[in-house]
Structure 1
Amino acid sequence: MTHRLLTAVAALALTAPSAAQDKPPAPAEIPSPGDIVAAAPAGDWVAIAASDLLVMDLAPDAAGRPRRVVIQLMPAPFSQGWIGNIRKLAAAHWWDGTSINRVQDNYVVQWGDATEKKPLPAGLAVVPEGEYVTATKAEGGVIPSDGKLPPMHWSGYSPGWAWTDHADAYAKKYSYFRGWPFAGDDGRSGWPVHCYGMVGVGRNMPPDTGSGAELYTVIGHAPRHLDRNIALVGRVVSGIEHLSSLPRGTGGLGFYENENERVPIASIRIASDLPPAEQPKFEYLSTESRSFAKYADARANRRDPFFIKPAGEADICNIPVPVRAVADSR
């Protein structure tokens, strides 16, 4: 019966091509977000400079397997005071011999000097609270569309910005800037947001804003209430499983109570300071591309066969920017 039905449908399509063109695509033909990313042309991908990657090597696991975490640092003009400090800390090999000290379930993994006594390198900047928010320029420009679908109601701002017309629970609008998720108020100021895998700067009570020596990454539901209250400096692009799978700390806020529970950090380096053969290579899907616009729309409106009812909306943290490793062609 199924075979006869499919044959009949195929025959109808052959005899009435114009009618078939007016109908929406069959469910099996509707691409998923993953399909859209996989089909994105090479020109829609942007290489991440080795100088913008922070490579953290943890002590091997119990089976002797290496554990490497790669973090992409945020582009200018955001959080550059803290990122400048992070570059100095990495150049000084300051994190070597420190540890993962905190793993709080559905929240964060944090690392740094558990003793809080290790001297910091000279010349670290003291960054003011005002740097949590950055001024932007709204100069027009619209993200590309295919002429049939205006994905996510984009209203772009150049250079680099791709604002949406969608409201956000923690801001008036959300946006993407050069591959990064941001929120904003009037299109003239913006701030990075606490999505899964984002990396931030630990601090004490305000007005302290942290030096960058204590870092954390989000491993749970996006704690957006931290936006504009703590500096965000990057995101984990590889190896998040080496952090999210660690045993949870039993002390307050998930801190490890015993020294032997902490995971040692062998080294943290800027990738460009590693030998060329050891430098990881990654690229992200340009958030100014037509492919990303289609991908974002598909994340908000799942039309592929598994889904029954499209949501019609998506939290910004549910539209993660695709990042992929690049094979070394040397």
Structure 2
Amino acid sequence: MIRSLGSVLFASLLTPAALASDPPVTPSAVVAQAPASAWRVIAADDLLVMTIGGGKRVVIQLAPAFGPRHVGNIRALAKAHWWDGTSINRVQDNYVVQWGDVTEKKPLPPGLSPTSPADYVRSIANVRLAVTPLPHADPYAPATGFVDGWPVAMDGDGAWLPHCYGFVGVGRNTSPDAGTGAELYTVIGQAPRQLDRNIAVVGRVIEGMAHLTSLPRGSGDLGFYTADEKTVPILSVRLASDMAEKMRPRYEVMDVGSASFAEYLRLRANRKDDFYDRPAGGVDLCNAPVPIRPISVKPAP
């Protein structure tokens, strides 16, 4: 039965009555053995491919359902090749890596949508998606769960994406400025959930995270690179849908309504195997990442 976001506060996670006769005992084993029916292809228009200095590739999955105006702007910026020649300007330890135009003077392409703090949260009344609730207390939201492959935090009125490790947000100035999408950052430390609903979260890094976390930390205030430090060049940013077929990255995400995800989630909270002696009895939203895997494409004969 499909649950609406409005009813999730009263729902509980149902573990399937039966999976395999000899079920896997670790979350990774569940992921490895999940059938093809438990996976959903990520649309090429939702994949942002960033190439930084040294030819290193970072792939970001965008979340248009939770940040439609910001994501629309990001797609427009990518189509205009706006980020080409910009740079990574900030690396703050245990916090964020941030990139964009260091001069803050580069003209933006025409037609970007105006944004506001109202874009940080999607109204439950306007969203009708199936929810897999997470039945464990969260210090930052009355309820949490998973919607369309994304972890979400919720209250009685709205739903929003959390600031988990690897998630991508939109840099902004003092409110009511909400940023255009031209200045982006990703979380590289413990999840700063206090930022939830204060900044637009628009996606997550699904490939190349190590290229960002291994960058030298900036010595300036808040981890910004100083004039004596070398910024990291951004060579290009493209939507996968605008790339040649043979160059496109392809990924799929686990269906959060599948039996495989329910078992994966149960084991994340109650792991007991050869290594774990004492199950935790719970898991927080950012420590149950939805599995994502690359799709291998066989070359044409």
Partner Cα distance (1:170, 1:218) in 2: 17
Instruction: Map 1:26-65; keep pairs closer than 5 Å.
Output: 31-60=25-54
Partner Cα distance (2:197, 2:95) in 1: 17
Counterpart check, 1:124 vs 2:124: no
Which residue of 195, 215, 224 maps to 1:255?
A: 224
- Quote the residue 1:227 is aligned against: 196
SS of the residue 1:124 aligns to: coil
Q: Which amino acid aligns with 2:148?
A: R
- Quote the residue 1:240 is aligned against: 209
- Quote the residue 1:11 is aligned against: none
- Quote the residue 2:155 is aligned against: 185
CA contact (8 A) 2:58 2:209 kept: yes
SS of the residue 2:266 aligns to: helix
Structure 1 stretches of 4+ moved >4 Å:
none
- Pairwise CA RMSD of aligned residues? 1.7
Bigger shift: 207-216 or 115-124? 115-124
- Quote the residue 2:59 is aligned against: 70
- Quote the residue 1:284 is aligned against: 253
Counterpart check, 1:159 vs 2:129: yes
Q: Which amino acid aligns with 2:76?
A: K
Quote the offset at 1:329 in angstroms. Answer: 2.1
The number of equivalent residue pairs is 278
- Quote the residue 1:94 is aligned against: 82
Rate the CA distance shift 1:311–1:198 in 2: closer, same or farther, 3 A: same
Bigger shift: 256-265 or 201-210? 256-265
Quote the offset at 1:29 in angstroms. Answer: 7.6
Partner Cα distance (1:50, 1:208) in 2: 30
Partner Cα distance (1:108, 1:289) in 2: 33
SS of the residue 1:93 aligns to: coil
Could you list the per-position Cα deviations for residues 40-75 of structure 1 after superposition, in whole angstroms to 9, with x for gaps in the alignment? 101101101111100000121xxxxx3000000003
Partner Cα distance (1:82, 1:275) in 2: 25
The gaps in structure 1 that reach 5 residues or longer are: 1-27, 61-65, 140-157
Partner Cα distance (2:222, 2:174) in 1: 15
Q: Which amino acid aligns with 2:61?
A: Q
- The alignment's TM-score, normalised by the length of structure 1, stands at 0.81
SS of the residue 2:218 aligns to: coil
What is the percent sequence identity of the aligned residues?
Answer: 55
Partner Cα distance (1:315, 1:104) in 2: 24
SS of the residue 2:137 aligns to: coil
Quote the offset at 1:255 in angstroms. Answer: 0.3
Counterpart check, 1:299 vs 2:293: no
Q: Which amino acid aligns with 1:208?
A: D
Rate the CA distance shift 1:137–1:293 in 2: closer, same or farther, 3 A: farther
The gaps in structure 2 that reach 5 residues or longer are: 1-21
Q: Which amino acid aligns with 2:25?
A: P
Q: Which amino acid aligns with 1:83?
A: V
Partner Cα distance (1:74, 1:232) in 2: 8
SS of the residue 1:119 aligns to: coil
SS of the residue 1:171 aligns to: coil
CA contact (8 A) 2:142 2:155 kept: yes
Partner Cα distance (1:290, 1:137) in 2: 28
Q: Which amino acid aligns with 2:106?
A: K
Could you list the per-position Cα deviations for residues 76-99 of structure 1 after superposition, in whole angstroms to 9, with x for gaps in the alignment? 2x1111011101111111000000
Q: Which amino acid aligns with 1:75?
A: P
- Quote the residue 1:82 is aligned against: 70
Quote the offset at 1:30 in angstroms. Answer: 5.5
CA contact (8 A) 1:30 1:303 kept: no
Quote the offset at 1:124 in angstroms. Answer: 1.2
Rate the CA distance shift 1:313–1:59 in 2: closer, same or farther, 3 A: same
Partner Cα distance (2:259, 2:99) in 1: 38
